[in-house]
Amino acid sequence: MPLVSHSSYKAPFYLFNGHLETMIPSAFRKIKGVSYQRERFELADGDFVDLDWLRNNSKKLVIISHGLEGSSDRHYSKGMAKYFFEHGWDALAWNCRSCSGEMNRLPRFYHHGATEDFKEVIDHALSQKQYDSIVLVGISMGGSLTLKYLGENSGRLPEQVKGGAAFSVPCHLGSSAKELDRPNKRFYLNRFLKKLGKKIKSKSEKFPELISFKGFEKIRSFEEFDNRYTAPLHGFSSANDFYERAASLQYIPKITVPTLIVNALNDPFLPEQCYPYDIAKDHQNVFLEIPERGGHTGFTLAGQEENWMEVRAFEFLNLI
């Protein structure tokens, strides 16, 4: 323990494999009735991130971190913010650098291990109001940020940070990157590269001495992309160095507050190394839940606006 022996998630019959469970909500799920209040937050290095708030004048706050090339407008971010807000909490869905609809100022972007920005956002939220309780929810890459932040700051977390929940997390970055090289999963890789390519092109025009877009169309794997862009722009020597140092897996054992990790068994992004059984079974604070179904950031509930991630995150975090 704490391995969660039984998951309450039941997938709709019409989403009968991990690809459908991933793609259908990503393409078609819409969240209505969310009116964020946007705040431009200036970072210490001269860049910025945009923060989207839902305020209830509550003493409790959930901070939501999105996935790779996601944003606060993605269905899973908006849905999570709305669910907590409707249950009386304040909600903050933040956007990583370049993800809010406006390109960031500096050459660097964001990545799975960029918890320095996340820490600034959390500290800023604490400075804005006297929250009694802050919980962190991360989805996919946002889950990586959540777990890494909680682990690397163990022993010096703000006392208001009570716990976290992370869904569809590529805990072992290198193996997850290779998983998307498989022929039946290259659809996902190509979508990511198409989105990232637009940003690289924009950056190359602004910083031609640092970033080149030439030959981008020849990139065929995350490892190639990370070797060429992620590593040099963010202080890593190579893609493998990035995968080793940024991966959340090594930080999970250090977590000191109640934290839920949920990775579906049929997640097309996650190989075996991304399910930290051995860590969780002997851990007092990390709860690992592995539903058989759910896909990657899917977890659709038939006939309901909310999805199971929102229900499960609130169920777990509202009690700590």
Q: pLDDT tens across 194-233, in order?
A: 999 999 999 999 999 999 999 999 999 999 999 999 999 9
Domain boundary among 220, 246, 272: 246
Q: pLDDT tens across 82-121, in order?
A: 999 999 999 999 999 999 999 999 999 999 999 999 999 9
162 and 224 together in one domain: no
241 and 253 together in one domain: no
228 and 139 together in one domain: no
Average pLDDT value for the chain: 97
Give the domain extent around 211: 182-246
- Answering whether pTM is above 0.95, one says yes
pLDDT bin (cut points 50, 70, 90) of residue 74 is: very high
277 and 308 together in one domain: yes
Give the pLDDT confidence score for residue 93 in this predicted structure: 98
Residues 242, 234 contacting (CB under 8 angstroms): yes
38 and 132 together in one domain: yes
Q: How far apart are the first and last CA of the chain?
A: 18
Tell me: pLDDT of 1 over 60: no
Residues 180, 269 contacting (CB under 8 angstroms): yes
In a domain, 177, yes or no: no
Share of the chain above pLDDT 70, in %: 100
242 and 255 together in one domain: no
Q: For the chain, give me the number of helices (H) and strands (E)?
A: 11, 9
The Cα–Cα gap between 87 and 101 comes to: 29
The Cα–Cα gap between 158 and 286 comes to: 19
Using alpha carbons, select from 89, 131, 87, 139 the residue that is nearest to residue 311.
Answer: 87
pLDDT bin (cut points 50, 70, 90) of residue 5 is: confident
Domain boundary among 246, 262, 279: 246
